Structure 1
Amino acid sequence: MSEAPESGPAPVADSPFERLRRHTWLSPTEWRRRILFWTGAVLVGVAAVFFAKAADFAFDLFRSVTSHGWWVPLLITPATFALLCWLTQGAMKATRGSGIPQAMASLDVEDEDFRARLLSLKIAVGKMALTLGALLGGASVGREGPTVHVGAGLLYSLGRRFGFDEPAAAGRFILAGSAAGLAAAFNTPLAGVVFAIEEMSGTFEHRMSGTLLTAVIVAGVVSLGILGNYAYFGEIAASLPLGKTWIAVVLTGLVGGTAGGLFARLILPSAKGFRGGVARLRAYNPVLFAAACGLGLVLLSMAGNTSLYGTGYAQARDILQGHSDTGPLFGALKFLGNIAASWAGIPGGIFSPALAVGAGLGGNIAHLLPGADPSAVVLLGMAAYLAGVTQAPLTAAVISLELTANRQMALPIMAACLLARVVSALICRVPVYRALANQLIAQYKDECAQRRIAGAEGNP
């Protein structure tokens, strides 16, 4: 009769304390990460509020100075464009433009040096200061994209400082900071979440949903606590009942998508055709070219007898509320003014200026539809043009609804945004932020390849 095999030592049962420690929710590391997220979100909210107040002050100062004569912008604006271009030639190059492409590129490339170059605290502070300088000089730029950049930089730097420098962990801080930045900039928490899903990451990790939501909520609460419960453009009680007036959805979708796609295509770099000529002029003397762009903005304002400076917030609000005197050419001229600022390569975003262009175009379409609510058509124009520029229809729709505290327009706005996105994609195949992010990534890969070649030649 064979003997039974000897059994090994009986496993020692885990204590309740050990089982609790292994639980994700109770993990000390996870709690440290959550506390950092929430602390960072508070910092982003405070920074966004400060940025908003400082931006208003800077632009009010510009308007005060330029009220002394029509000739004053001719001196201030081109000089400001040239100075900003010169300041961003070297180590501060990452502060150029909107800032959203920088955050997107940092999510895609899990390299610490690349991320630090785009999202360091120095870059975040510089982005804020130089964008304020652009508004002080009357540039047609916004602060929302830069706030996304600042938010990503603050949370990324905070995470690295406290040991969360592993690539995947750092990416979560970048994503949450970007979403919190947009939410605090517009006081639109839902738009912040949708923006993170649709524009920044393209996907939504289930395990990140709670952390991302809490970061956005905390940043929104900070903004709400300081500035109060407000809608960016005020509460707009517009509606568009089903029927003939829904032709406004088709018109705004087609016009917004066409204009938005054209804008995106014109500001993207290219070596061919008209854009190639612009790129060669800019490369020949960037500072002089930027000054010429500033002069072009001033001349456009003088030709249209309307202010194209700054974010365009006041004009968009007046058009939306039905008491504007900007004239029928405002949308087209603001469109050109935004291109001038983008070509100059100065720091500043395109969200608010895009809403102003959309408001102008929507106002023009409203005159063609006397039976429709003008405010409703203008709101459709704003949403459709923003969707055309960014090719992010959900973000554009949610932002437009939250900015006006309007829920009745949800279906027509979503329909116009989806149509605008389709039309825009026919003109500009790659969404503008994605294309600009890809350019940053390509430049970085070229630099790495050149360093490898130089290293190989130095060590045969």
Structure 2
Amino acid sequence: MSDLPPHDDADAPHHPRFQRLRKLRQHDLLSPLQWRRRVLFWTGAIVVGLSAVFFAKAADYAFELFHSVASHGWWVPLLITPPMFALLCWLTQGALKATRGSGIPQAIAALKVEDEDFRTRLLALRVALGKMALTLAALLGGASVGREGPTVHVGAGLLYSMGRRFGFDDPTAAGRFILAGSAAGLAAAFNTPLAGIVFAIEEMSGTFEHRMSGTLLTAVFVAGVVSLGVLGNYAYFGDISASLPLGRAWLAVLLTGIVGGLAGGLFARLIIPSTLGLRGVVGRLRARQPIAFAAACGLALVLLSLLSANGLYGTGYAQARDILQGHSDTGPLFGVLKFLGNIASSWAGIPGGIFSPALAVGAGLGGNIAHLLPGADTSAVVLLGMAAYLSGVTQAPLTATVISLELTANHMMALPIMAACLLARGASALVCRVPVYKALADALIVQYEAERARREPTPATEPGHAP
């Protein structure tokens, strides 16, 4: 039986339970500890926003420098890219091993495991700074990588380090700093605040804790305002006024969803160490001679770029924008070649993300599909291809939908994009059952647990134990 009086509503203002809850909320609002945490979140979000803006500018400059040097001859990248891949692989063999890859799996793994040693290994300040520096070096060497995933890693590392520095080292509190830093990093990297929130819910945590909602929203808002204030109110790919009316043109949704999903799932499967890509010969070569293997991956990227009109180097942002805006000379094989170039860069194990390169692959595939549908708006089909392929790679359809809408400032395509992303998510799961970021994060966790098990003494080896 309930302890409440008959016909008494516990949510009524006069009820004692309601009064107690109101006092607790007032105490929480006025608590110095809570205000110290809020100020730290706001300050951290500003730092993440400024770091993301600096990173974006530096990344553009690094790749422009590579492009200007490489323009002197087709042979120049042969002297730059393979040695840079080898150097980055060598640099990430030791203390900077956590800087490898996208950076999003590191943030997810640190969020899952409430172990200070594990989190510090992945998110220490030196790791965040190293991630930024080595990703810039990768772009300087022409690698087919992006900066958005690394920005998530940097954002998580900065807020986590700030939280620990000022006494918020409780595992639950530290997890909140990691989540907010990751979301703020993505929001500032793309200048897409809503995508940062959806990314945190769908990709990072999988849940949305009510107590965390205000903190997360505030961090994303502050980081977004910083990016907006410095870079201005812009859409990543410009204002794209594409549309897709109901009717036969919606065949594009079906085609881009299936093709983008299958291709994205294949890419994810090929870059997950425990699946097809790195299990056999490739895995053995990478394990035995990692530096030589990385150099070979760089060489493969250069050779593939020779088959493309504009090359496969860098984020692919310029090529994707040109395809989307309808004045591209990348050639019909750009999507497939960029797909292979992204695999070469991922297999090398160097720092760098897959968001922007994935959008470039999707744009290329969408352009190919548009040629099969002469009655449809080409820009609309390309946009669908970008969103669907990104959804296929990440298996995060909501994040892919929101990012695609915010990147182009186009809301007329909301329903077609959402449909294509959901279809791509299902098609991707047929090829790769586990989402790529989750699989890579789980691999980091398994590796850490194995190392910890080797360090800890077993009962048979403990002092005083009789064999």
- TM interval, shorter chain, is over 0.9
SS of alignment partner, residue 164 of structure 2: helix
Report what 1:4 is aligned to. Answer: none
Q: Provide, for residues 372-404 of structure 1, a one-character-per-residue CA deviation record: whole Å limited to 9, x for no partner.
A: 000000000000000000000000000000000
Q: Which residue of 2 aligns with 1:194?
A: 198
The 5-angstrom pairing of residues 73-92 of structure 1 reads: 73-92=77-96
Aligned equivalents of 2:81, 2:459: Cα separation in 1? 45
Q: Per-residue displacement from partner, 1:48-103 (whole Å, max 9, x unpaired)?
A: 00000000000000011111111100010000000000000001000000000000
The match for 1:269 among 246, 269, 273 is: 273
Which residue does 1:381 correspond to in 2? Answer: 385
1:9 aligned residue: none
> Aligned pair in 2 of structure 1 residues 274, 90: CA closer, same or farther (>3 Å)?
closer
| Distance across 2 between alignment mates of 1:313 and 1:346 | 19
What SS class does the counterpart of residue 146 from structure 2 fall into?
Answer: coil
Secondary structure of 1:232's aligned partner: coil
Please give the alpha-carbon distance, in whole angstroms, between the structure 1 residues aligned to 2:179 and 2:427: 28
Q: Contact 1:119 / 1:149 at 8 angstroms: preserved in 2?
A: yes
Whether 2:158 is the aligned partner of 1:154: answer yes
Q: Kindly state the Cα deviation for residue 37 of structure 1 after the two structures are TM-superposed.
A: 0.5
- Map 1:291-330 onto structure 2 (within 5 A): 291-330=295-334
Quote the Cα distance in structure 2 between the aligned partners of 1:22 and 1:182.
Answer: 33
- Aligned mate of 1:353, from 353, 357, 367: 357
Report the counterpart of residue 254 of structure 1 in structure 2. Answer: 258
CA apart distance, 1:25: 1.4
Q: Helix, strand or coil for the counterpart of 1:35? A: helix
Give the Cα–Cα distance (whole angstroms) in 2 for the partners of residues 195 and 100 of structure 1. 11
Task: Give the match for residue 168 of structure 2.
Answer: 164
Alignment of 1:14-53 (within 5 A): 23-53=27-57
2:179 alignment partner, one of 175, 178, 182: 175
Q: Which amino acid aligns with 1:235?
A: D
- Letter matched to residue 73 of structure 1: P
Pick from 138, 144, 148: which aligns with 1:134? Answer: 138
Q: Which amino acid aligns with 1:132?
A: L
Give me the whole-angstrom Cα distance separating, in 1, the residues matched to 2:262 and 2:27: 52
Question: 1:448 deviation in Å?
Answer: 1.4
- The answer as to whether partners of 1:179 and 1:195 remain within 8 angstroms in 2 is yes
Q: Distance in 1 between matches of 2:187 and 2:336?
A: 29
Give deviations 1:22-47, integer Å, cap 9, x for gaps: 62111111111111100000000000
Deviations 1:113-162 (A, max 9, x none): 00000000000000000000000000000000000000000000000001
The 8 Å contact of residues 309 and 329 in structure 2, kept in 1 or not, is answered as no
For the residues of structure 2 that align with 1:456 and 1:423, how far apart are their CA atoms?
A: 49
Is this contact kept in 2: 1:266–1:275, CA < 8 A?
no
Distance 1:274 1:446, change over 3 A: closer
How big is the shift at 1:19?
5.4
**Helix, strand or coil for the counterpart of 2:456?**
helix
Please list the CA deviations of residues 176-195 of structure 1 after superposition, one character each: whole Å capped at 9, or x if unmatched: 00000000000000000000
> 1: CA distance between counterparts of 2:458 and 2:59?
44
How far off its partner does 1:20 sit? 8.1
Q: What's the CA shift string for 1:186-213, capped at 9, x where partnerless?
A: 0000000000000000000011101100
Please name the residue that 1:338 is paired with.
Answer: 342
Matched, 1:367 2:374: no
CA contact (8 A) 1:20 1:26 kept: no
SS at match of 2:293: helix
Distance 1:360 1:157, change over 3 A: same
The reply to whether residue 111 of structure 1 matches residue 115 of structure 2 is yes
Q: Residue 296 of structure 1 aligns to a residue in which SS? A: helix
One-letter code aligned to 1:79: P
Do 1:282 and 1:289's aligned partners in 2 also have CA atoms closer than 8 Å?
A: yes
2:306 alignment partner, SS class: helix
Query: Following TM superposition, by how much is the alpha carbon of 1:215 offset from its aligned partner in structure 2, in angstroms?
Result: 0.2
Is the Cα–Cα contact under 8 Å of residues 271 and 279 in structure 1 kept in the other structure? no
TM-score normalised to structure 2 length: 0.93
Kept in 2: contact 1:262–1:428 (CA 8 A): yes
Aligned with 2:280: secondary structure?
A: helix
Change (3 A) 1:286 1:245: same
Displacement, 1:331? 0.2
**Aligned partners of 1:273, 1:349: CA distance in 2, in Å?**
18
Partner of 1:233: 237
The equivalent of 1:10 in structure 2 is none
Amino acid at match of 2:418: M
Flag the 1:20–1:263 CA change in 2: closer, same or farther, 3 A.
closer
> In structure 2, what is the equivalent of residue 11 of structure 1?
none
Measured after TM superposition, the shift of residue 304 of structure 1 is: 2.9
Separation in structure 1 between the aligned mates of residue 39 and residue 86 of structure 2, nearest angstrom: 42
Q: 1:89 to 1:426 in 2, by over 3 A?
A: same
8 Å contact from structure 2 (residues 269, 275) kept in 1: no
Count of equivalent residues: 444
Relative to structure 1, the CA distance from residue 22 to residue 59 in structure 2 (aligned partners, 3 Å threshold; closer, same or farther) is same
Q: Of residues 242, 249, 267 in structure 1, which corresponds to 2:246?
A: 242
After TM superposition, what 4+ stretches of structure 1 lie above 6 angstroms from structure 2?
271-274
**Normalised by the size of structure 1, how large is the TM-score?**
0.95
| Cα RMSD for the two superposed structures | 1.5
2:429 aligned to which of 425, 432, 436: 425
* Higher alpha-carbon deviation: 23-32 or 34-43: 23-32
CA contact (8 A) 1:270 1:279 kept: no
Task: Give the structure 2 partner of residue 12 of structure 1.
Answer: none
CA contact (8 A) 2:359 2:387 kept: yes
Note if contact 2:142-2:314 (Cα within 8 Å) is conserved in structure 1.
yes
Q: What's the CA shift for 1:214? A: 0.5
Deviation at 1:21, TM superposition (A): 9.2
Matched residues in 1 for 2:405 and 2:457: separation? 52
> What is the CA-CA distance between 1:303 and the residue it aligns to?
2.2
